[in-house]
Amino acid sequence: MVLNSRSSIGHNLMCIFYHDPKLPAHYQRLMKLRLDETFYYTCTFTDPRNLTAYVRHRFIVNRLVLIISGEKAQFLCDIMGKSKRIPHNSFLYEFQFDKNKLKSELSADKKFHSIDELFKKITDDVKQFTNKENQYPQMVVDNDETILQQSTLSFGIHEKPKNQQSFSYLSTQALKFILFQSFIEVLLGIPIDKDAIRHMWVRCRGDTANQDNDNYLKQVDEFEDTYSSTDAIRFYSKDSFLFRSVNKALRCENIERIFTFHPFISHLHQQLLKLGSEQRCTGNCLQTVLHRGKKLPASVLQQLQDNTNNLISINSFLSTTKNDNVANMFADNVNMRSGYETVILEMHLDDTSLEKMMQMKRPCADITNQCENPDEEEVLFFMGFVWCIKSVNQAPENHWKVELELSTDMNVHMANNFNELKGECTYFTLGKILHELGEYTDAINFYERMLESASNLSSKTRAEIHFHIGISAFANNLYKFAIDNLREAEQLMEKAARPSDGISTTFRPAYAEDNELTPMRILTNIGLVYKKMNNETNAYDSFDKALKRDGSTIDKAKLCYYIGVLQFECRKYEDARFYYHQAYDLAEDEELKIEINQRLDKLENTAVNT
């Protein structure tokens, strides 16, 4: 979703990874993790024809790192090594999983079985390249505002969804984008009180310890004294700590920091929504082409070019201008920066698409008369806009031109997700969204905020919150903490069965689970945690207790499946077969049925071999 900084790897190269189509999923995940940690941009191929076609086109980056794996390693390494279209002095390596035979004729120091040794070699080789690259003279403008504008674009790239494509079949990037927008949607509905605003200034003042600028503290105090919720646009447009802090939080997707600034984000959203609506009602519509000038890493520009006709989603505020001369000023075509290219983003929009975005409460407005620098003729977009990459071309004026067109292809999925929230703007809802985003620590923090902020919650609601804390803790490998919270959920569910004076706040988990929390589900998850801790005795005990408790048919199907898996791992094959069949008869989910059949096939193979 966001481009993270890889300090050891240069901006002017990318990685290409080829592997066999049938490479096990866990190896793919392992390699993806290492690639994402190391490179700004990686292209992965499983078809040799697609790979050879890709390397024939002109590259923007001036170095490639090619990692070739699988049965065709010898053929592909030979082709890649002889190709004249690949940038000069690129890096070529062979890597084989599971100690499979190394096949290429590359030198011994370019062939690996160890993934750690492979990436150490890559890092060492690339460091030499980046060190040499940085020795060349370059002019870097010492303009804080220009650098600031260059650093505040946070985006994700994904394919267009097919017509009527269900939510579950969207790409990972698209799902993350929609979930993050759901997080923002809930955040906008969180009530803002004086304490929330005060905490925002306290946090900003705490940041002064890390600032060399003597005016920083003075600026924070001044903003606190003069800030008005109806003047958020002017405060955002100032060259200030607030602009930097908010955009850094969004760019890095720092959830706690985003939450800290949620009063300001909400005020800015409200003012943009109001201003944009007023402008449209008075016929003061936006012009159809806007501009933004930036210095972009060559690897990012390469990624944009490779994804022509795909979508780019913006998860931060987007500043554009009606004046192409202003865009050229920020692009700064005169001063060069190593590893970066001068880019003009040309944004095309139409009234129909803008109206659809306004209906989604994703506003934009011409803020020329409200901002600190009216000469910039700025049009500001709230986070959540999606654009189609129409073209990436090098212009005669020594810069690149990226043509983007406003897209509403993701709106139906965003709308469906927002509708599922049903106005549930609570810390609990935020926690569930964060869990789905894989932000387990932040999810736990928001669950605990929910427990602390409402002392009169019913026992059942508290049970649901503790259950979700346990699930996030389990996902975060905090097993004892998970057990403690799941046990607390179990006790609260027993209490909930008795009359209670607490407020019954019913939450339907909008993302992770659709069925009601039951004692069976709680005990099943306790068993899963014990199983993960290699405590088979307690896992058996928890599963056995779960079988005797109330639960839905779905709960029981999953429970029987998990018992079957545990019995299989403990070499109790007949018991495993019994529970697999029980699970299959109860299962309503086709994916679970497929998984059970695969397990049964494995059992049959085990029986034949023994």
Strand 378-381 and strand 318-321: the pairing is antiparallel
Domains detected in the chain:
13-133 (3.40.50), 143-423 (3.90.176.10), 424-609 (1.25.40.10)
In the numeric block, which tokens belong to residue 401?
């031109």
The beta strand positions in 298-436, using DSSP E, are 311-314, 318-321, 340-348, 364-366, 378-381, 386-395, 399-407
pLDDT reported for residue 9: 63
**Model pTM?**
0.81
Provide the 8-state DSSP code for 141. Answer: -
pLDDT band for position 287 (cuts 50, 70, 90): confident
pLDDT band for position 6 (cuts 50, 70, 90): very low
- Cite the DSSP H helix spans in 404-507: 411-421, 427-436, 440-453, 459-475, 479-496
Taking the mean position of all CA atoms in its chain, how far away is CA 79? Answer: 35
Mean pLDDT taken over the chain: 86
What is the distance between the alpha carbons of residues 450 and 118, in angstroms, rounded to a whole number? 45
What is the radius of gyration, based on Cα positions, of the chain? 27
The residues near 364 (Cβ < 8 Å, ≥ 6 apart) are 272, 276, 286, 354, 357, 379, 380, 381, 382, 385
In the numeric block, which tokens belong to residue 259?
């939450």
pLDDT reported for residue 152: 43
pLDDT reported for residue 325: 93
Average pLDDT over residues 442-459: 89
**Exposed, middle or buried by CB within 10 Å (0-12, 13-18, 19+), for 122?**
buried
Provide, rounded to the nearest whole percent, the portion of the chain with pLDDT above 90.
59
Which of 334-343, 508-517, 595-604 has the weakest average pLDDT?
508-517
In the numeric block, which tokens belong to residue 38?
């190391």
